[in-house]
Amino acid sequence: MPSSSSLIQGISISVSDDDEATGKVRVRVRRKRSRAPVSASARRRLLLIRTARLGVPLLLSALAVSLLLYESYSLIPSHSSTLPPPSFAEFGHLSRAARAADTPRKSCLKFLAPEKLQNLELPEIPETNMSIKKVVYRSSLDHREDDIPSHTESSRFNLFTGYQTLTEREESFKIKESMTVHCGFCNENGGFQVSDVDKEYMRHCEVVVATCAFGGGDDLHQPVGMTENSIRKVCYVAFWDEVTHAAQEEDGNKIAEDHMIGLWRIILVSSLPFSDQRLNGKIPKLISHRLFPMARYSIWVDSKSQFRRDPLGVLEALLWRSNSSLALSEHGARSSLYDEAKAIVKKHKATPEEVEMQLDQYRQDGIPDEKSFNGKKALAEASVIVRDHSPSTNLFMCLWFNEVVRFTSRDQLSFPYVLRRLRPPGVHLFPVCARKNLVNSFGHRRKVKPLVNVKEAR
């Protein structure tokens, strides 16, 4: 029979049949292995490591939850004074992303309290001490063939823009009380045609929030966060072409009989003047004063963004409080127009030849490769533009528009040039954190369809 073993308190006792017969028991003591002594410092290190493994994740989780609760509490608007985001039932088939996008964010802009916004009025038009009193817009009837320098044969100047010569371009930067400049709409046959009903509507707008979608690339995002005061006083206008109209109807966004979709007045544009849809979009973006002749203020919002603040509150925070006339979102990545030019070429947003021609002209005009202007960043991202419609600001926007027609349609490249040449007072470039608080940004949903049948007259 095999032997059996049992363990009793560290002593192993083996019992065999022979031992049982003789009554003898063999005892074998197992020696315990000796362990090296652990120093006090080593024990402390082990204790610290174990504490860190358990405590650090708990601490980080607690901090994250606390920060989230704080931001939510500080940024949730008062529902008694401001309107909630538009519902699906009220404003039709809005995108799910747009309806869910009104989320709280930490703001680096201080806005008036909701109860003050409810009673906010437009300020009185001040007595102007500006050097520019009046801006006159040229007619294409003044154009003569021999006034066009040879290089404009490759430009986009046409009956809509007028044919600005290099001499006229240079004169437009020489400030006088009455300025005569090219600024679009030079001829009734030049393009960007809207109905008489829409023209009449635009004549009665005093404050405008504008966007546009040409070529069907973007959805329509309903604005949120406004007070009843701003809904009464502000025109929300979206410019569409027929391509966008068809794409939106396919998605269920149909224009009502009153020309509205939610809060947006939809204005359909025919005979767009450029084959480049990006350039067509610069018309409502840069020269909105030509579309809204009676407006005192306008806010431009790119079509890929959802406006999420009270318009009158934005005007107060960015213009009236600081006595500014033009406010734009600054560029988040770069400061120099020459660095921006390299990025544009690298990302294939314009050809190297187009960009080089523009830079050659800017170098010839003495624009330095500097990162700042008057101590501040001069490069604008410009997806949000807040402005008054005073003569000096209108001139600035006209000259900016002429630059994107003459050279590339990348307006970030030409803004610093116009800023340095004109040196207007009251230009405010607000930081990226402020832009993010003004809008929710979405990507382009579809690829923009170019126009192939537009004749850009030379």
Q: Is residue 326 assigned to a domain?
A: yes
Cα-based torsion angle of the residue sequence 244, 246, 252, 256 in order, rounded to the nearest 10 degrees: 90
pLDDT at residue 411 greater than cutoff 90: yes
Average pLDDT estimate for 365-388: 90
Q: Is residue 219 assigned to a domain?
A: yes
Write the CB contacts of 142 (distance below 8 Å, at least 6 apart in sequence): 162
Which 3 state secondary structure label does DSSP give 8? strand
pTM: 0.75
Q: What is the pLDDT of residues 430-456, one digit of tens each?
A: 999 999 999 998 765 655 555 544 444
**Cβ neighbourhood burial of 70 (10 Å; 0-12, 13-18, 19+):** exposed
Q: Is residue 451 assigned to a domain?
A: no
* pLDDT given at position 87: 40
* pLDDT given at position 217: 73
Number of domain units in the chain = 1
Which two tokens mark 181?
């400049």
Provide, rounded to the nearest whole percent, the portion of the chain with pLDDT above 90. Answer: 59
Strands 26-29 and 11-15: antiparallel
Mean pLDDT of the chain: 81
Write the CB contacts of 324 (distance below 8 Å, at least 6 apart in sequence): 318, 426, 427, 428
Q: Is residue 273 assigned to a domain?
A: yes
Tell me the residue range of the domain where 291 lies.
132-143+153-441
Burial 41-69 (b: 16+ CB within 10 A, else e): eeeeeeeeeeeeeeeeeeeeeeeeeeeee
Q: Is residue 7 assigned to a domain?
A: no
pLDDT at residue 20 greater than cutoff 80: no
Confidence of residue 190 (pLDDT cuts 50, 70, 90): confident
Q: Is residue 331 assigned to a domain?
A: yes
pLDDT at residue 263 greater than cutoff 80: yes
Q: Is residue 86 assigned to a domain?
A: no
| Measured distance CA(409)–CA(243) in Å, rounded | 21
| Measured distance CA(235)–CA(422) in Å, rounded | 30
Q: Is residue 301 assigned to a domain?
A: yes
